[in-house]
A = this chain, B = another copy of it.
């Protein structure tokens, strides 16, 4: 058990650098906070680099994390390294996973230019709940940022996560079909068998660029009684994921 008391400690500086995309890229690490998120990441076989707890939580941390090494930090330092509004007092650093091999890409979701971290995290969490194997991140927000990781509740470890560009995806997807989810005018998703392909969910405000939608094999739409344009992106994507992949036969 280590104990860090000073904000000048290089380890603390490195942790704070992980708050920014540049620091995460440099160290290939990201931060996760709270018991549930951390234990879910561990259950997903993410490789852990360190666990930081405040003194009062040491017994609980020893119980939860068994023989893993803990680093004790003061409450003031925890506030410094945490990105939560109210730090839970337990924080861990994990190594990012590299992109899996392109030929291992399964059926699943493409999050195309999703900019809100809460939406991205929620969609990843939904993918896991729907037994979806693959999530492809095309541009948009950083999936390893604090808000995304927390919104996945740690389930980010449980999908094959690709980060790529749209054009790279077109090259690597092979025979797998792309299904563009659009608010209106596409084929009824209830009547389209798309669970062997990749369902493409576009940006919250702007949807999918026309050019990208044109490059998909099919356009699909959720058949709804009300007004389709007033669904939040994470909701639309999740309902589509449920219909296409998640519903039990």
Q: CB within 8 Å of B: which residues of A?
A: 118, 122, 125-126, 128-132, 151, 153, 155, 190, 222-228, 230-232, 234-235, 238-239, 242, 245-248
Contact = CB atoms under 8 A, between A and B. Distances in A.
A155 B234 CA distance: 17
A247 B224 contact: yes
Majority DSSP secondary structure for residues of A touching B: helix
A235 B232 CA distance: 10
A193 B235 CA distance: 22
Given A129-B230, A190-B247, A234-B234, 15 more contacts: A122-B234, A128-B226, A129-B228, A131-B225, A131-B226, A132-B226, A153-B230, A223-B247, A223-B248, A225-B245, A225-B246, A225-B247, A235-B235, A238-B238, A239-B239
How many copies of the chain does the oligomer comprise?
2
Contacts of A131: 224-226
Contacts of A248: 223-225
28 contacts: A125-B230, A125-B232, A126-B231, A126-B235, A128-B227, A128-B230, A129-B224, A129-B228, A129-B231, A130-B224, A130-B225, A131-B224, A131-B226, A132-B226, A151-B232, A153-B232, A155-B230, A223-B248, A224-B247, A225-B245, A225-B247, A225-B248, A226-B246, A234-B234, A234-B235, A235-B235, A235-B238, A238-B238
B125 A231 contact: yes
Interface centre among A122, A129, A131, A246 (most CB of B within 10 A): A129
A249 B192 CA distance: 15
Given A128-B230, A129-B231, A131-B225, A242 B245 contact: no
Contacts of A126: 231-232, 235
A239 B237 CA distance: 10
A235 B152 CA distance: 12
A2 to B, nearest CB: 32
Contacts of A125: 230-232, 235
A194 to B, nearest CB: 15
Contacts of A232: 122, 125-126, 151, 153
